[in-house]
Homo-oligomer: A and B are copies of this chain.
């Protein structure tokens, strides 16, 4: 492993739970010698990637990221990042993948990717508005949204798009609890007939959900094998996208490391 890689690795140990790290801790975390870590932190500090707080004692992430993040966003806008993730999720599941963004109290599907693998596929309208209670994407967002937001949504009239749409607030709250536990939402024909979809929430820098990434397949094609694959891939894609966009899942969010533990 090169020196640069080792130095950059140090930056990965900072987290929301551990924003300040001391020299010795950093040496332990990285498994490197204290003198080595000291020199590396010195170089990172000189470049502004890390800074010391107070009189030595602790290091934290430096001020350069504002600028670099702004430049990155300018070079690669959000839609490009989302598009790439959608494409790979689509390739992986060979079903329609789409991304939706919460705008006020409306969930808007802003991007999608189709798989050429099957003759039949779920199709999306551009800028289609998804109901929060009737789609997997909506349920994924609701399951992690603030209580007052959920309350407002469930108190409002809940239109049934199909005869399978759940419109009973009590029933919906039970479902949201289940989604919250699994980290992924599932909806069978709740929005369009014969569409079976899964969705994972996307979180912002404050751990609040602001959108969802989803995979939608025809009900007829959804067997146990495909379902497992879709759930695993969607959960992973959601986590990945959250991280790419600089967001953080809340502490309660289930890790996708053990997808077999997820119950349906």
Contact = CB atoms under 8 A, between A and B. Distances in A.
A121 interface: no
A74 interface: yes
Given A66-B101, A101-B63, A71 B19 contact: yes
A173 interface: no
A88 interface: no
Task: State how many copies of this chain the complex holds.
Answer: 2
Contact of A8 (B19, B49, B63, B69): B49
Interface in A1-15: 2-5, 7-9, 11, 14-15
Contacts of A78: 66
Interface residues of A, number: 55
Given A8-B43, A43-B8, A48-B103, A65 B69 contact: yes
B71 A61 contact: yes
Interface string A41-59: 0011011110000000000
Interface in A121-159: 126-127
B245 A66 contact: yes
Nearest to A79: B66
Given A65-B65, A67-B244, 9 more contacts: A5-B46, A48-B104, A61-B71, A65-B71, A65-B246, A67-B243, A70-B127, A70-B248, A74-B126
23 contacts: A3-B3, A4-B44, A4-B47, A5-B47, A8-B47, A16-B71, A20-B75, A47-B104, A60-B72, A60-B75, A61-B75, A62-B72, A64-B103, A65-B65, A66-B69, A66-B110, A66-B127, A67-B110, A67-B127, A68-B246, A70-B126, A70-B247, A70-B248
Listed from nearest, the 5 A-B pairs whose CB atoms lie closest are A66-B246, A69-B69, A19-B75, A65-B69, A70-B205
Interface of A: 2-5, 7-9, 11, 14-16, 19-20, 39-40, 43-44, 46-49, 60-76, 78-79, 81, 101, 103-104, 108, 110, 126-127, 205, 243-248
